[in-house]
A and B are shown apart, each in its own frame.
Chain A
Amino acid sequence: MTDRHGAVVPATEADIARTGQSPLTFVTTDDAGVCDPETGICVVPQR
């Protein structure tokens, strides 16, 4: 994982739960906007 400045940070348990056993390294941020197929919600980031 990387933080919002792009620095590599350890994945948290929540990150792992969200991404499963993915072979990818994730670039994540609280500022990401995503549409969730399970809820149908297109989340607006809380800044």
Chain B
Amino acid sequence: MKIDSTGKVAIFDETGVGNAPFTDPLGNLSRIRFHSDLLTPAVVSVTTYTVTLPSMVENAWRDATVTLGAHGRTGTPMIMGRVRNGSGASWIPLNGSVMLPMYALDGSTTYRLFGAYPSGPPYWQGGDGWRSITLGADATNIVLHEQAQALSKHAGADITHPALTLEIEVTVFDINLDAANPTVGTDPVAVHMSASLVKFQRGKWRSDRRYIRTPAPTPTHYMPLGKTVEVGGGPANKGDLLRSCCHAGPVKFKSAPGQVNDITFDASQQPVSV
């Protein structure tokens, strides 16, 4: 661990390279365990919103953006989200467009679930119903975009897709996507260490904030390393598909009413604690 008079702090392996990781962290990343020059997104708020996506009848189409609330930051912040439908359900990482299970009542007698046929990763047949949500933020608000189609018609029965109430948890970070982010804090003291609080580089890094860390025995979020939805490749005679993929699992998503849809995803996202 090395500290200089500017408040720069680094923890690194100096074997054979001396001070190089301290002066050039990006050029020596494999030797760095911590460096206050590096940008480490810090959590500034976590807010849970409740959203009800309305019921849909067959042949209906939705394309809407809902304002969840103000984020209170200057500029457009980096955010991460996760979604569940009810407190008993597991959180699903809200990375990219999340394909939601979609439910239908055929003439109020037969209950259908789209998105879990026949087993394994959920998929949505092009000719059936599907619903997806995408999380975003502008310079003022957190927003959620929904697009959906309810196109199914089976054996002449009228179909209604029930409303779906979701909890959306949004974590806001101190990263501004509209402008350069500060490389040094504004504290008068270069380094602060007390029994309860540590601050490096004039307060740029603070121990009273949370950062994105891995491995995570109990992950709160998943950082995507690639695709989270796959297009095509479904079973024969099922047409074109959208399939959720690449989530670590298993993930439970409660269907309505009272069912639990077990979804097992590929484990190719990085589990992290935030």
Interaction A to B: no
Q: Please give the residue numbers on chain A whose beta carbons come within 8 Å of chain B beta carbons, in ascending order.
A: none
